[in-house]
Amino acid sequence: MFVRLQRATKSHIVFLICVFLLTSLALAVLEAADKPEEAKKAQNVGPRKVGEAELLLSRPKFIYSSLGKRDPFMSLVSGEFQGEGTVSLVSIGDMELVGILWGSKEKLAMVEDSRGRGYVLRVGDAVIGGVVTDITKDSIVINQTFYGETQTVVIRMKGKEGERNEKK
């Protein structure tokens, strides 16, 4: 009921505003018709104002030509990202698993080396001497090849200090 009353009130307000504007316009037209002498005097103010209006209307029109120019909406950055220098790979013996990001499409493992540098690894990424083959919710699995022999290395995420005692 209140919503209907609000809609009705809004439509009444809009209607009253329209009536007010139309009435004001009609009164202005009637006043101008009653005073034709003042209208003629206003038209004959002088050649100066008419000249200014003609000058404004006779200005050359500016036309923008995009021929030979780049599209302003295209990205300024294109192509693949190229890092500085060579890509540094993390060593299997030097890495510590810090976190796992689990999305709907892919899994990411966040590892850190002994110098504190962080790396984000996906399944299929190369590490020194191996390749990431799987990422679980608490570990990363790497196939390491050394002198033609392949072995599977599992690096688990270290738990918090208090978790070790709770699991026992």
Q: Identify the DSSP state of 92.
A: G
Element (H, E) at 146: strand 139-146
pLDDT at 166 over 90: no
pLDDT in tens, 83-92: 665 667 888 8
Q: Which of 25-34, 43-52, 128-137, 150-159 has the lowest mean pLDDT?
A: 43-52
- Say if CB 97 and CB 156 are below 8 A apart: yes
Helix boundaries (H) for the chain: 2-34, 36-43, 47-57, 163-167
Q: How far is CA 4 from the centre of its chain?
A: 40
Token digits of residue 21: 């504007």
CA dist., res. 11 & res. 29, Å (int)? 27
> Residue 106: which of 143, 80, 132 has the closest Cα?
132
- CATH 2.30.30.830 in the chain, residues? 92-157
Token digits of residue 68: 């030979």
Residue 142 bridge partners (DSSP): 132, 153
pLDDT in tens, 35-58: 666 555 555 555 455 567 776 777
pLDDT score recorded for residue 168: 44
The CA-CA-CA angle for residues 127, 156, 95, to 5°, reads 35
CA dist., res. 57 & res. 34, Å (int)? 31
pLDDT in tens, 91-125: 888 889 999 998 888 899 999 988 888 899 999 99
* pTM, two decimal places: 0.45
CATH no. for 92-157: 2.30.30.830
CA dist., res. 41 & res. 44, Å (int)? 5
